[in-house]
Structure 1
Amino acid sequence: MRQKIARVAREQGQLLAGAAIGLAAPFLLLLMLISVPASLAGGLGILLFVTVAWLTRRLADLQRRRATTVLGGPVTSPYSPLPTGILARTRALLGDPATWRDLTWLPCQFAMGVICVTLGLGLWLAAVQCMFAPLLRVLLPARTTFDPVVLEITGRSGPLTWLLVPVGVGLVLLAYRLPRHLVTGQARLASALLGPTSTARLTARVDRLTATRAAAVDASAVELRRVERDLHDGAQVRLVAATMNLGIAEDVIDADPASAKALMAEAKAGVGVALTELRDLVRGIHPPVLADRGLAGAVQALALTSGIPIELDLRLDRRLAAPVESAAYFVIAESLANAIRHSGAHRIQVAVAVAGDGDALRITVHDDGRGGADPSRGTGLRGIQRRLSAFDGTLSITSPPDGPTVLDMELPCAS
């Protein structure tokens, strides 16, 4: 019962808050109308327009946060960054469709807020009057200056007042259930008018993909330079040295077989080292275990080579596309390396699963280390972000100062 009473109070508070936000609409709209002629008379209205637009945006941001809480999903802000300077800012506000959508939302919120709070409180008042109509008839047998509505309706008829009791019970049920739908309706109104339009979302997505593809291209160029450098400074040098040793051994094998044998042994050792370096280089590009055993087997191999215990929860019912498996493997490997090197963790948990309808791969890496992970302070997390962004993936970091650190990653993997 206490929870139900708290829920009723919370919902009525939300309706009152919505009405309070809506009551600001007439004043803001009036000031906006005043700013037009004031701008023509000496330009004083420009400052008023910018101020009203700023206040409207703050009010809309408040409603977006309330809508996000109610709907359980983000109602993002569609505003573009404003330039400096009063005239430039005014032009930007006038040209931003979000400004006019905010002004459209104001009267809608005013009307809806007033109607919703009237319904929310009025139903309870009507329910109480109907349920206690017989008692009110006894307490007020004669007309008074302010008669209850139920007595006006029934004309103080005894049978009619008793008939209103079950009506009051029905109104109690309606008053208990309706407010949550009214609150949701206000949230959906905010989502429809205050959220970004489909065009704005598409534009933002194109911009984000353009930036991430450019970052992916830059990362690929860096990776190619690293491979070239490792080949040039490592395996290539050793193979050239082995070739020279074999050439010298060929020249001296008749005159000095012992020296030739030593040179061939040195060449053999150099070739062995070069092969090891080439294997390590190939493993860094695309690990053979990933191609042979899939993502689950590759992650298990990573766990076996770790210096600290790693708990695995792998729920993969199929092989994924090779680029997705490769990206997932390397973000897991980088996450584990970061945790081992920087967090001081004693235990790491890795969960990998195909989420939803099989169109997303969800990866969670949890360590019990010291926390405080920040992408701005190191290249490891930024590298993970770049690798994920190339696939339109996401990274969410939770890392309070005393730990633990949780990395939640998601990769599209629809086949």
Structure 2
Amino acid sequence: MSGTGSLVGRWAGRGTRGALSGLAAIGLAFTNLPLLVISIVALALSPVPFLGLALTPWVMSLVRMRADLERRRASRTGVLVTRPYHPEPERALPGGWQRFRWTVTDPATWRDLAWLLPGAVVGCGLGAIGVLLPLYGIVGLTLTPLWIWLGTGWYGYGVIWSAESIGTGLLCLPQGAVILAAGLSLAPWLRRVDAHFAHLFLAPTKTAELKLRITQLTVTRADSVDAQAAELRRIERDLHDGVQARLVSLSMVIGLADELLDRNPAGARKMLAEARESTGAALVELRHLVRGIHPPVLAERGLAGAVRALVIGLPVQITVEVDLPGRPDTPVESAAYFAVAETLTNLVRHSRARHGSVTLRHAGGVLTIVVTDDGIGGADPSGGSGLRGIERRLAAFDGTVALSSPPSGPTVITMELPCALSSPKTIPSSGTV
């Protein structure tokens, strides 16, 4: 019985959300017409010097905000509508020719404008059906109680409702229940129909998708080249300032020991002991350097084991949960590891957290990493916290980073990397460090 009640509750919840979303669609539909009118006026004034250059991009930004809202609403129904606009040109000043040209030459701008009127009609119509049908059923359910409460002298009428007698009043109850159930069942489906209609206008065309993909690949390739160049410079600097300096010093000490070997054996032995210590220090630095390129623990134990080893020495208690039925390719695994390492470094330095967690899972061809903490929150990617570096590192593999960090916390960082796993090996599901 509890299972049936839970199913009924979820069904009623989906229906209610669908009806409320239909009500929102009606309200938003009435914003489309003013936007269409002011867009036409702005385009008509575009030949006017200065005024047209400034007004048209501003109005089109409002249209894009409305279209983006509809894309998000469609995505909540399971219909993914990707944002199709061309990247904004560098140094495009407000009121300038570049910004005006970027706006009016983008085909997505005209598709947004073409959607405003039919989108308003379809959204308002489907929303009205999704709202009025459940309400009509509720009216049918309430007629009989009102008839009993107010007495036989009161009569209620609707299109099909009539409570002129107790017999007809009792018939309203099952009819209202059927219509209410039909309305709640239909409301989510109507929202999906509206979302698919918006997809026809607001989603990028195949050509636009290809251009956006090329642009994205160009940007990520440039970021990858820059990141690789920076990494090579770091390795060169570490070798030059660290290991190389120690090796030069070691060579000089051995040379002095060789000169003293016949004249002062005790001094030579002391210098050789110093050389041995320098050799050990150089080996330690080399291990750190290699660990920064590709940690041995990552190669030996995989991503799950490497992350567990990573959190052992942290001053914050970190729970690691893993659901990986295999291992990603080595480049993806390395990028994921260093992204987690950078995130945990930020957690320790800035969050003031007492507890945190790292979740690794793979489903639908996507490796998802979620890092959370109970700290003070307020993380800002523009504040130099390393999040931009993580985004650039993962973007080379079409990965994404999503941040939720309200003031007072908690902070949740979700990283996704499209990848396949190489083996069906099962990895233990959880552990606490």
Q: Which has the larger radius of gyration?
A: 1
Question: What is residue 3 of structure 2 aligned with on the other side?
Answer: none
Q: Partner amino acid for 2:284?
A: T
Matched ranges for 1:41-120 at <5 A: 56-57=63-64, 59-71=66-78, 76=83, 78=85, 81=88, 84-85=94-95, 92-113=102-123, 115-116=125-126, 119-120=129-130
Matched ranges for 1:223-242 at <5 A: 223-242=231-250
Question: What is residue 393 of structure 2 aligned with on the other side?
Answer: 387
Measured in 1, the distance between the counterparts of 2:263 and 2:106 equals 88
Measured in 2, the distance between the counterparts of 1:37 and 1:309 equals 62
SS of equivalent residue, structure 1 residue 409: strand
- Contact 2:74–2:195 (Cα < 8 Å) also in 1: yes
Residues 322, 256 of structure 1: CA spacing in aligned structure 2 closer, same or farther, 3 A cutoff?
same
Q: CA RMSD in A?
A: 4.4
1:159-202 CA-partner distances (Å, limit 9, x unpaired): xxx99998776545433432332222112211331233333333
Cα shift at 1:247? 2.5
Measured in 2, the distance between the counterparts of 1:39 and 1:92 equals 14
1:50-76 CA-partner distances (Å, limit 9, x unpaired): 787566545434433443444475663
Measured in 1, the distance between the counterparts of 2:241 and 2:41 equals 73
Measured in 2, the distance between the counterparts of 1:41 and 1:310 equals 62
1:315-364 CA-partner distances (Å, limit 9, x unpaired): 222222111221122112212222112222222222222x223x222112
- Alignment partner of 1:207 is 2:207: no
Measured in 2, the distance between the counterparts of 1:341 and 1:63 equals 39
Q: Partner amino acid for 1:309?
A: Q
Q: Partner amino acid for 1:297?
A: G
Question: What is residue 330 of structure 1 aligned with on the other side?
Answer: 338
Q: 1:398 aligns with which of 404, 416, 427?
A: 404
Matched ranges for 1:11-410 at <5 A: 11=18, 14-19=21-26, 21-22=28-29, 56-57=63-64, 59-71=66-78, 76=83, 78=85, 81=88, 84-85=94-95, 92-113=102-123, 115-116=125-126, 119-120=129-130, 171-353=179-361, 355-357=362-364, 359-410=365-416
Cα shift at 1:233? 1.7
Measured in 2, the distance between the counterparts of 1:397 and 1:125 equals 39
Q: Partner amino acid for 2:265?
A: P
Residues 224, 172 of structure 1: CA spacing in aligned structure 2 closer, same or farther, 3 A cutoff?
closer
Measured in 1, the distance between the counterparts of 2:372 and 2:48 equals 63
Q: Partner amino acid for 2:398?
A: D
Q: Partner amino acid for 1:95?
A: T
Identical counterparts, % of pairs: 44
- Contact 1:299–1:329 (Cα < 8 Å) also in 2: yes
- Contact 1:34–1:45 (Cα < 8 Å) also in 2: no
Cα shift at 1:122? 6.9
| TM-score of the pair, normalised by structure 1 | 0.77
- Contact 1:371–1:399 (Cα < 8 Å) also in 2: yes
- Contact 1:101–1:194 (Cα < 8 Å) also in 2: yes
Measured in 2, the distance between the counterparts of 1:268 and 1:87 equals 68
Measured in 2, the distance between the counterparts of 1:274 and 1:48 equals 64
- Contact 1:361–1:413 (Cα < 8 Å) also in 2: yes
Cα shift at 1:275? 1.3
Cα shift at 1:94? 4.2
- Contact 2:374–2:410 (Cα < 8 Å) also in 1: yes
Q: Partner amino acid for 1:409?
A: M
Q: Is 87-96 or 260-269 further displaced after alignment?
A: 87-96
Measured in 2, the distance between the counterparts of 1:35 and 1:374 equals 36
| TM-score of the pair, normalised by structure 2 | 0.74
Measured in 2, the distance between the counterparts of 1:184 and 1:101 equals 20
Measured in 1, the distance between the counterparts of 2:215 and 2:392 equals 15
Cα shift at 1:17? 4.6
Q: Partner amino acid for 2:209?
A: R
- Contact 1:77–1:195 (Cα < 8 Å) also in 2: yes
Q: Partner amino acid for 1:105?
A: W
Measured in 1, the distance between the counterparts of 2:41 and 2:388 equals 49
Cα shift at 1:370? 2.0
